[in-house]
Structure 1
């Protein structure tokens, strides 16, 4: 039997780990996923009931239900003659040369069914969070991240070969001639993109991605396409600057997007469009279209038809379905209790900042100002984004509805450039088992779905709730002061508000956190402390603030607290999925998230009599203390 003193994660979760089975259509099972499965079951029953009793008084939900019903009409989906898809693919095939692509680039972006080999996005400006910026990134890669393209990676050839063969089969299903060559050319273009793509570590340091250039410089640098015409078509004006998120792609653009590479680019566009379409077609094609993602994570089976039906409805109506879920399943008593816990956690943070010993008073006071300015959002938003009023399920096929929806959503995306940022808009639906901190809005957001056991329950003790949702709440607060969030001020702007010597001290503590995780062995390989540092700072800040809050209660049980902390990170996954996450996930492996943060707290040693001969022991001088 594993002792807590040697492995908190395994000791607490031993029975669960021994008996739980990973669902055949998923790469893992975790505390988060168990809630997802329960939510899927409840929502499926709800949507079936609503299908029989259409909610005519709720127009957005009505359209979601109509689309849900269409997604489950397998007789119609299986009988589809694919003519609508073939028509879309013919638009790409008709681009006879690079000049034709250049002339139609803006229309291709707005129509969005033919993916172009770059991305012009509209995102809140990091240095002016009230307004939007136009941004440039590359188009993404076939494999999960850049590390998979290293010649030493054991799965590079296997996965690229599978993607190519699978794509060839999909193209052939649509009657595309020379399908094998087209799929091979798509892989060849993908290979050209790899050197220009950001690594996962680069994406993780999102505050460092901000590279604005004047529009004049942008237009002079990217000369192979008429970007002035493209930009005017998309946002109806020419901005003063454009923010580059992938600088190597920007620098190499003229060598990548060229007449010489046109046949490869065209093959890439055709293959991507064909693969995307499979999701909305026959059962055979949607299973074939998802085969690559299953191969990457070693998932045995495709999603069952009823789950796929729900997935499709959520992909376009997630906020609508989320709002329905939040209002039905989350009560006002629980909302008030979570709000009280959040207020208490912010108060704990205020006290910890006031008594902080490694920051100057000037920086401490500004940190408290930022903390006081945080907006707390619980359960679900007050209203839906306006764009949902525009989504109307039509009389055509499911695929044709998605064409229309994509056009509407793309147009709305570019419309936002001329507006102020709506900082009240949620970026997660209420039925998502997650939470997040928004640096541009300086807000913490807790969807209703995560506000249940094992994270939170009115039936759990206060110590258990602090070890669960309390630590999650404080985790999100901590993101305001992690290596990324700390660079944004209380208004959500990327702005230096620290004293230089204070930030230097903070960077030293970041290095300590990196060292605590970097190279730690797991069953799937070594952890990457640099990739995980922001989440590890948040985890440590979360558990530290939560235990402080728990100890302020009249009744406190720290055994309950630490065991609940370990329980919320329970996780079992395929080896392939774990290896993928090690490469690209900003979160550390679940066992390390459960085990390492407690070893930095004296309360853990006192509660379980942990001594130097125990495996969970960390010498006092190596214990990381930040917030």
Structure 2
């Protein structure tokens, strides 16, 4: 179901994030100079110069909310895994039930059987609904909520395992705020610009009512319950932290003993939950937002049981909707896809099924994907780029004029413990015990959710497995994990325009080189810089150096605050600060590494290809990576919740602070892409 236990934190500080997947497209390979926009000057409108013509010629597909370089590779990844699933489904009769091929094939076959799902109706969740109808006391309600976590559905709050912020060698449990259906707290508590949040709230209430009715609630009762659900979630929103507050590691970690948690929240039953999760020997965990859980505990006694029933009933039906009838799946899309994100049409069924398999057993699917789609030489070439970027990062830290020797020494200690992971895991997780059948889609979704929850819980209170990955190999993304001080590059992103073993260095350093640098520099952004060489939350800075750092990052906050994205709505510089620091530092060290590579090979720095110098090609490919269009609704949603700035601003934000860009395109002082000296941001 949708309510999966999640890793706390955006701890994996990822390069980007996006949604869904279609066929028949190819990635950008190299630079097609005929696509460059001659009517735009690179010094004034660099994003338009590189991308305007392509964006004009490539409309956002109907089943997408965004479209660009990441999404094209995502389509290719989806097509590759789809082919694997189709093949596995055709060979079910000869496959062994315990094999990954059988599990993928059976899952796919069950998902594609729309007739069976429509015939079953809401029967697959009938037991949950019956149990909700019988809830009467706070103890009943708390017991039901706890059981959803045992089953891997995770209602009301988020619960999962992660390394201890203060002892990163051990994994502990984290409980975090959750329970909201709208993107974040402001949608409940404010009306928004031109009443936009109010309109979305009204649409949400209508969606709740329709979902309840499709789930068997009589029409008038469904409408009344929908109002109760909104009021319930509004109360949760009132004690929830905003996305920008949730970025702070200090707001993500609050270690308490189990006894203290039980005393603080006597109605929730923390000790019972840990016992039911087979973690009875737990001494403590992170009760990460105590104010939120204090309010939830009060709600168990002062919110009528009928209101709790309405809320839980809706959450169960809504979470299961994509895997039940066509009517429920379409209702889910109409709100979450069409209203919130602006998609014109739902994804075809095969794509939705592939996403379910990715969510349920993506690493198993990845094992099949890698065997067919990732040659060893790609991993070797990427490793060479990582080595160059590591050296460039070290040199840049050593030369920092604003940082004291004491702090610089600690920064270099952290540099020395960076762990890169490329392509796919060294060892594969076992899927023994997960039973997948070909005749019930929802049963397979539920079985994988339970299996993954049991797996996640089995790691808590044990040493961290440093070989484990937080992304599947087929994912088109990359991430940095401050608790392990690791940078991770799945096979899915090691393709053009990011990486091409046959391309000139300018393209690879401006593409995947900037990605590698980005992830490394997350270790020194406003969040990552609070974790030390061992991955522990620790203040390794002198007071003076931290103040200098924050003075410099404040300029970057202001730079992005000034960008207007749509309808007078600005980018949120503080929300996107970590990614913007990583972009600026990452592109800078990538360019340094590129110059080192040129010098090592004795290449002519002025030699042109397609009338572009190597430095120009470096920056053009960086901008191609951020080639992306958004539907209006999706762009507005992301401005509120996404820690990444919209792509058009990422394409220009870092280069406009770099003298190397101005030199490459001979930009004059006063050009839009040349920030004046007082505003220019120099951090790493």
| TM-score of the superposed pair, with normalisation by structure 1 | 0.95
Alignment: residue pair count: 625
Shift of 1:81: 4.2
Q: Does 1:77 align with 2:117?
A: yes
* SS of equivalent to 1:134: strand
1:177-192 to structure 2, matched below 5 A, reads 177=218, 178-192=221-235
Choose from 7, 18, 42 the match for 2:56. 18
Q: 1:5 aligns with which of 43, 46, 56?
A: 43
Sort the Cα spacing of 1:59 and 1:9 in 2 relative to 1 into closer, same or farther, 3 A. same
Match of 1:343 in 2: 387
| Aligned match of 1:162 | 203
RMSD: 2.0
Q: TM-score, normalised by structure 2?
A: 0.88
Greater fraction of residues in helix: 1
Moved more, 585-594 or 116-125: 116-125
Q: 67, 71, 80: which one pairs with 1:33?
A: 71
Q: How does 1:326-405 map to 2 (within 5 A)?
A: 326-386=370-430, 388-394=431-437, 396-405=439-448
Structure 2 contact 271–280 (Cα < 8 Å) conserved: no
Which residue, 616, 625, 632 being the options, matches 1:575?
Answer: 632
Write out aligned runs for 1:264-275 (5 A). Answer: 264-275=307-318
Gaps of 5+ in 1: none
- The farther-off stretch of 285-294 and 331-340 is 285-294
Which of 130, 133, 136 matches 2:172? 133
Q: Which moved more, 1:603-612 or 1:268-277?
A: 603-612
**Residue 263 of structure 1: aligned partner:** 306
Q: What corresponds to 2:556 in structure 1?
A: 513
Question: Kindly tell me: are residues 123 and 261 of structure 1, through their superposed partners in 2, closer, same or farther at Cα, counting changes over 3 Å?
Answer: farther
- The answer on 1:246 being equivalent to 2:289 is yes
Aligned with 2:345 (options 298, 301, 307): 301
Is the contact between residue 239 and residue 292 of structure 2 (CA under 8 Å) also seen in structure 1?
yes
8 Å CA contact 2:497–2:624 kept in 1: the answer is: yes
CA distance in 2, matches of 1:150, 1:184: 15
Partner of 2:247: 204
- Secondary structure at 2:574 match in 1: helix
- How has the CA–CA distance of structure 1 residues 423 and 131 changed in structure 2, closer, same or farther, with 3 Å as cutoff? same
Conserved 8 A contact 1:378-1:447: yes
Query: Aligned pair 1:465/2:503, yes or no?
Result: no
1:85, CA displacement in angstroms? 1.9
Aligned match of 1:498? 541
Q: CA deviation at 1:16?
A: 0.6
Runs of 4+ in 1 over 4 A off after TM superposition: none
Structure 1: distance between partners of 2:498 and 2:156: 42
1:529-560 CA deviation, whole Å, 9 max, x = no partner? 11011100000011100111111213341010
Extract unaligned runs of 5+ from structure 2: 1-38, 606-613
**Would you say the 8 A contact 2:561–2:571 is kept in 1?**
yes
Q: Deviations over 1:96-145 (max 9, x none)?
A: 332322455533431345x5433443322111111122322222322111
Which piece of structure 1 moves more, 487-496 or 410-419? Answer: 410-419
Give me the whole-angstrom Cα distance separating, in 1, the residues matched to 2:121 and 2:284.
46
Taking the aligned partners of 1:594 and 1:395, their CA distance within structure 2 comes to 46
3-state SS in 1 of match to 2:174: strand
* Alignment correspondent of 2:622: 565
Q: Indicate conservation of the 8 Å contact 1:326/1:449, yes or no.
A: no
Residue 100 and residue 223 in structure 1: after superposition, are their counterparts in 2 closer, same or farther (change >3 A)? same
CA contact (8 A) 1:98 1:259 kept: no
Question: Which residue of structure 2 lines up, in the alignment, with residue 62 of structure 1?
Answer: 102
Q: Is the 8 A contact 1:214 1:241 kept in 2?
A: yes
How far the C-alpha of 1:587 sits from its partner, in A, is 0.8
Match of 2:9 in 1: none
8 Å contact kept, 1:377–1:445 = yes
Evaluate the alpha carbon distance shift between residue 82 and residue 214 of structure 1 in structure 2; reply closer, same or farther with a 3 A threshold.
closer
Moved more, 51-60 or 182-191: 51-60
> Conserved in 1, the CA contact under 8 Å of 2:161 and 2:459?
yes
CA distance in 1, matches of 2:445, 2:77: 25
Deviations 1:482-508 (A, max 9, x none): 111111111111122222322222222
Q: Deviations over 1:55-102 (max 9, x none)?
A: 847812321221111111223223224322222211211213323224
